[in-house]
Every structure is written in C-alpha cells, then in structure tokens.
Amino acid sequence: MNEPLSPQADNGSPDVCSMLNIAIMNLPTGLFICDRNGIIIFINKAYAGYLNIEPEQAVGRHITELIPDSRILHVLRNGEPDIGAIRLISETSSRILTNRYPLYNAQGQLMGAMSMVVLDKPEQIHILQRQVDSLGRKVNRYARRIRTALEARYTLDSLVGSSPAMLAFKQLLLRFARTDGTVLISGQTGTGKELAASAIHNASSRSGGPFVSLNCAAIPQDLFESELFGYAPGSFSGARKEGKEGQIELADEGTLFLDEVGDLPPGAQVKLLRVIEERAVRRVGDSTPHPVNFRLVTATNRDLGKMVANGTFREDLYYRINSLLLNLPPLRDRREDIPALVEHMLERRGNVRCSADVMAVFQRYNWPGNVRELKNVLSHALSLAEGETITLDDLPPSLLMGASLPEEGQPAGGEQRLGAIRESSERNAILVALRENRWNVSRTAQALGISRANMYEKMRKFGIRRHAEGAGRPSRGTAGGDMSGYTDKLS
C-alpha cells in the first residue's frame, strides 16, 4: 500500500486515488493508519523517519512493536479522538505533537484509527507552548476583570453607623439576606442604596455568584431592553452578529440589582415581570427562552405606590418586587453617625481631621444629599485645607448658609445657641465667599445675592475690615486666599 500507484487514465492523467496516495506518502509531517486490531496498514515516509525505519518495514506489524505505549489503542477502544498529545520517539529522540482520530465507515462501524503529527520540531513546539501560555495569561487576566466587574465590593461592615436607625436597618438587612426573596430598597438620593444591595448579596447564599448592577435611569430607553434582556444575532441594525447576553443572564446564579427601578420603561416592565414569573429570559429578536436563576434586588428614591396610582408603574410588577422592603434612613435621621462617617471617609488621608466647629456645622446641617453630599463636602474641604485640620473656611458657603437656618420644632431653650451658630456660619460663609472672589467686595456681594452696601454692613458687623496699612497677605487662620488689603478681626 505504501508503493505509489501510477495507473494512467485514458486521457493520460493520473487518477485521483494515485494522486492522493502520492500526496499522503510525501507529506512533510507524519501520518499512519491502523486497522481496528492495531495493525499498521499505512505509514508515510515522515512518520517512518521518526521511527528510523522504511515504510515497508512497518506495514503489517502491530503498533506496539514500534511504539509500545502508543495511545492509539485507547482511541480504538473508546472510539474517541485523542487531541494534542506530545510524544517522545526514543529511536530518534524526536518530540512530536500528535492528534489521533477514530475512523468509521458509512454504516458507523469503527474500522481503525489514524495518528497525524501536527508539529515535529522542538522550536515549533516551544513557539506553540509560548503562544498557549500567553493566551492563558490573557484569559486569566480577562477572567479577573470580569470577576471584578461582577463582584459586590461592599459588605455589612461598609454600612458605617451605630445609631438606632442604622442598627435596625442592618438587622433587617441580614434577615432578608438569609432568604432568597426579592428586596426593594427605598431611600433618598445619596443614602447608599447600591452599597446596601451589595451587602445583601455578600451576606446571602449567592455571595459566590456574580453581582450585576444596572442603573435604570442611566440607559437610553431605546437601548434598555437589549441591555437588560440581551439580543439575538442580527436582531437590529448595528447589533453584534453573534448576539449578546443581557444583564439578566450575566446574573445567573447570583444577584441582579436594578437601581432607580422607577425609571424602568413600560415595555421593559412587562418583560421583567415575565422573567420573574417564568425564571427564563427571551432575548430581543429571539423566542427561545434561556433559563436563569438569579435573585432580584431593586432600589428607588421615588414613591412607587404613587406611580402605580397614576399609571406610570405596573401594579403587578410593584407587588412582585415589594415583597421585602428595606427603608434606608436619611442622614438627618441618624446625625449621631456623622462623626463615624467623617472618620471613615478621611481615614485614607492620614491625620487629617475636622475641627470642632466644622463637626458642629455638620451636625446642624440638614444633608438633603445625604452621605453622598457629605463625601462631596469633604472632597471640597480637602482641596482647600492647609495642614491637617479642616476648618470652617474650607467648607462651601452653601453648607454654612444651610447650617444657619432654623429647623422645624427647634426647642425654645436652644434659641441662644442657634443664634450663635447662625452668626458664626454667616460670618464664615462671607469669609469663604470673599476668598473665592479674591476679596473683591462687589463680586462677593453679587455672588451672595446682597447689595454692596449690605455687604459692607455685614463686614462691619462681623469685624471683617480693611487692613490699616493695606499691606501683606493675612495668615491662613484669618480667611485664606488672596486677601490683600483686608484683615479679619472679631469686634
């Protein structure tokens, strides 16, 4: 069989069988074929060369006579391919990479097996090994990125505060986390709803799975369904040809967090309700359901009950997501947590701290933006602070103004203290505004929304007056900034 055949067709050209025989015999890489008993019925010159024999010497012999530990016998026994095996041929010290395949006839009967060399030079194997190693590193790097992107970063310890309101919230959160029910987190903007959702995931039995977070208000309505539910190949213009998994499928075996759920488009509300009921998702442009197993956590700062009443949110979906309700308290209802929050936010800044006056203002302020606003205020103050203490001069004027306003239900005994806080806050707000306007009185008055005459009156009232000599820059402890010509002195 290893002798090249050369019968000629009537037209003088060799037949196909002869051409194939010649081509296989002279392949630059090795190949041999065994029958189902392991007897070699064909071997080409390259493979015979690995064994340091002529092809005629191998045909008719059992494979184990030439390669005692040949794995082609495993292929003959189980009928399954053996791919990518590296073998050392002792006769020639050749290291080869081979693929072995079972051979079946038209009736599906196993007739034999074929062994084909893929690589036969050490440098080729080394190059392939380097490429495989490089690809493995890339895969691991991308896997780490995916895990990080789908990882819940916050735990229950991230919810800073030990006020009664926060302790009650944490206890209820832990109880809900132990179940697999749908949780709705309500709370004002900036209270930390995503942090709470992350803590629920990490305290649950699904903590080892993905945590997929989606802000419903941040995605254009025309793209929302394809982002949440995914889409089939070619389902719309510009879609990926291979299609795309949606956020729901990415959350399989984990938690899906829908922030600002009140902004769900009407069409998406219908489809989400169907997914919750069927535990299967249908991609846009595809009718095939894809089973999913996820826990749903939602959050909103809106009154979903009112939205149901006015027809902007589906009633059936509302009752589906409202089975376990967590109400995150606003910062003004847990003022005793403010010092701990400030310390937590400043801990990476070394020894930076807030003065007692600053902390008093923080305790007085109403915090409409809650914890997020507190974080922004500290960022603003840190950018202005000189040294390791944040002072009133470093706070935004709006915060100082807001802290000076009386609250409803202020006790009568606190009027005197309130007046002192109001005057101190107003004075410091004026100082900060003067600094920000480089001590230009006209511009400062305009920024504060008062007349220039009123501005001078307030400066006299609070002892902020022109420096007698008009020289030099006052120290940081007075007002800071470009204060040439002015000094700050209590009357």
Smallest CA-to-CA distance from 457 within 491, 484, 485, 421 is with 491
Q: Is the domain of 314 the same as that of 178?
A: yes
The CA–CA distances, whole Å, from 241 to 40, 114, 236, 245, 337 equal: 46, 37, 10, 12, 52
CATH code, domain with 436: 1.10.8.60
The span from the CA of 259 to the CA of 117, in Å, is 56
Establish if 129 belongs to a structural domain: no
343 shares a domain with 295: no
Assess whether 268 and 324 both reside in one domain.
Answer: yes
> Looking at the predicted structure, is the pLDDT value of residue 486 above 90?
no
CA distance 14 to 466: 111
Residue 2 in domain: no
Task: Give CA–CA dist 279/297, Å, rounded.
Answer: 15
Same domain, 399 and 311: no
- Answer yes or no: do 116 and 230 share one domain: no
Structural domain that includes position 388 = 334-488
Same domain, 368 and 323: no
pLDDT of res. 487: 34
- 451: Cβ contacts below 8 Å, ≥ 6 apart: 445
- 331-343 per-position pLDDT tens digit: 999 999 999 999 9
In whole angstroms, how far apart are CA 163 and each of 187, 198, 210? 17, 21, 31
User: What's the Cα-to-Cα distance from 217 to each of 220, 223, 305, 341, 370, rounded to whole Å?
Assistant: 8, 12, 19, 27, 20
User: What is the CATH number for 203?
Assistant: 3.40.50.300
- Residue 139 pLDDT exceeds 80: no
Same domain, yes or no: 300 and 236: yes
SS3 label, residue 119: strand
In the chain, how many domains are there? 3
Lowest-confidence range among 14-18, 55-59, 81-85, 484-488? 484-488
Residues 6+ apart with CB under 8 A from 66: 40, 51, 53, 58
Are 161 and 106 within one domain? no
Strands 389-390 and 353-354: parallel
Q: Measured between alpha carbons, how far is 93 from 142 in angstroms, rounded to an integer?
A: 39
What pLDDT score does 180 carry?
94
Of residues 17 and 330, which shows the higher confidence score? 330
- CA dihedral sign of residues 356, 360, 365, 369: positive
**Quick one: tokens of 245?**
């998994």
Q: What does the pLDDT read at residue 376?
A: 95
Structure tokens at 22: 């010649």
Q: Specify whether 383 is located in the same domain as 466.
A: yes
Is residue 319 located within the same domain as residue 341? no
Average pLDDT over residues 156-182: 94
Higher pLDDT, 360 or 469: 360
pTM: 0.58
The per-residue pLDDT for 140 is 58
